Amino acid sequence: MLSCKDVTHKSSDYIDNKLPLISRWQMRLHIFMCVRCAEYIRQMRATVASIGLLKDRNEPAQAVIDETVNNLLEISKKRS
């Protein structure tokens, strides 16, 4: 089974659907069994979604950018 570090390492590719099928199943199995990684992936997806929303705007509000950066920093702190 993958470790939590493995999940962290592969999370971007997992969210972007870039992992091979076997790796994807290994990720799903770990996320199903590990509450912390499930929450981590959920937060990563939310962050990716908000960045996607920013791309649609010509000039994103500075407050939105700051909040997104702070969210990413919080996620990183929790994982270290």
Question: Of 20 and 32, which CB lies nearer to Zn ion in the complex structure?
Answer: 32
Q: Does 19 bind Zn ion (CB under 5 A)?
A: no
Question: Of 4 and 73, which CB lies nearer to Zn ion in the complex structure?
Answer: 4
The 3-state DSSP class for residue 1 equals coil
Residues 26-45 that bind Zn ion (CB under 5 A): 34, 37
∠ CA(55), CA(58), CA(64), 5° rounding? 65
Binding site for Zn ion (CB under 5 A): 4, 34, 37
